């Protein structure tokens, strides 16, 4: 099994193999250590995130989203150009070829397990389906928590005496 995550110390992506007996993840760049919580891995099944305290995980295709979107955009642009030149056969040919390429990639590419909270990717784990697919409500919950944490870390307490009205005329 393998986990890919962004190190919270140096912000460099780190990849590490793990098993049920793994107790520490170590960033190869800065040597930052992350203690793996007990019960995070049972057998070959990830119960909750090894990197953060998050317990909500979801499955998705293990495929770069930017590449997938680029494929669709390329199909749209190509078919639009063919449509502009009134070449109907090429227009639909490009669209069908794009759809076929998407279908082939969908069937060939495996799944990965993702953490809503920190975005860690887990590959090679068992029983991924038990975590369910992406849920927008859960994603929004974690996005809002992260936004609040950023806002509270920016708001520094005012120095003593600041904000008090100075008296006297």
Q: Write the DSSP assignment of the chain as a string of letters.
A: -EEEEE-TTT--EEEEE--TT--EEE-TTT--EEEPPTTSEETTEE-S-SSSS---EEEEESS-HHHHHHHHHHHHHHHHHHHHTT-HHHHHHHHHHHHHHHHHHHHHS-EEEEETTT--EEES-S-GGGG-B--HHHHHHHHHHHHHHHHHHH-PPPPTTTTPPP---
Claim to verify: residue 118 and residue 138 sit in the same structural domain? yes
Q: What is the pLDDT of residues 27-50, one digit of tens each?
A: 989 999 999 888 888 888 999 999
Claim to verify: residue 35 and residue 12 sit in the same structural domain? yes
Name the domain count of the chain.
Answer: 2
pLDDT score of 71 more than 90: yes
Please indicate, yes or no, if residue 168 is contained in any of the structural domains: no
Claim to verify: residue 96 and residue 123 sit in the same structural domain? no
pLDDT-derived band at 80, boundaries 50, 70, 90: very high
Claim to verify: residue 99 and residue 121 sit in the same structural domain? no
Greater confidence (127 vs 166) lies with: 127
- pLDDT average, residue stretch 94-105: 94
Claim to verify: residue 54 and residue 11 sit in the same structural domain? yes
Greater confidence (158 vs 167) lies with: 158
Claim to verify: residue 92 and residue 135 sit in the same structural domain? no
Q: What is the pLDDT of residues 50-68, one digit of tens each?
A: 998 888 999 999 988 899 8
pTM of the predicted model over 0.85: no
Claim to verify: residue 12 and residue 87 sit in the same structural domain? no
**According to the model, what pLDDT value does residue 158 have?**
56
pLDDT-derived band at 169, boundaries 50, 70, 90: very low
Give the residue numbers spanning the domain of 69: 65-107
Claim to verify: residue 125 and residue 114 sit in the same structural domain? yes
pLDDT-derived band at 167, boundaries 50, 70, 90: very low
């Amino acid at each position: 099994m393998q986990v890919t995550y962004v190190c919270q110390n140096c912000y460099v992506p780190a990849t590490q193999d793990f098993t049920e007996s793994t107790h520490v993840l170590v960033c190869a760049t800065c040597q930052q250590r992350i203690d793996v919580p007990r019960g995070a891995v049972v057998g070959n099944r990830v119960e909750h995130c090894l990197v953060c305290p998050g317990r909500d995980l979801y499955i998705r295709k293990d495929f770069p989203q930017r590449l997938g979107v680029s494929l669709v955009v390329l199909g749209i642009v190509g078919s639009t150009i063919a449509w502009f030149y009134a070449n109907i056969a090429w227009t639909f040919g490009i669209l069908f070829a794009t759809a076929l390429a998407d279908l082939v990639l969908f069937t060939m590419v495996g799944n990965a397990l993702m953490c809503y909270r920190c975005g860690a990717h887990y590959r090679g784990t068992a029983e991924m389906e038990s975590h369910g697919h992406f849920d927008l409500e859960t994603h929004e919950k974690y996005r809002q928590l992260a936004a609040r944490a950023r806002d509270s870390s920016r708001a520094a307490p005012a120095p003593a005496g600041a904000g008090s009205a100075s008296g006297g005329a």
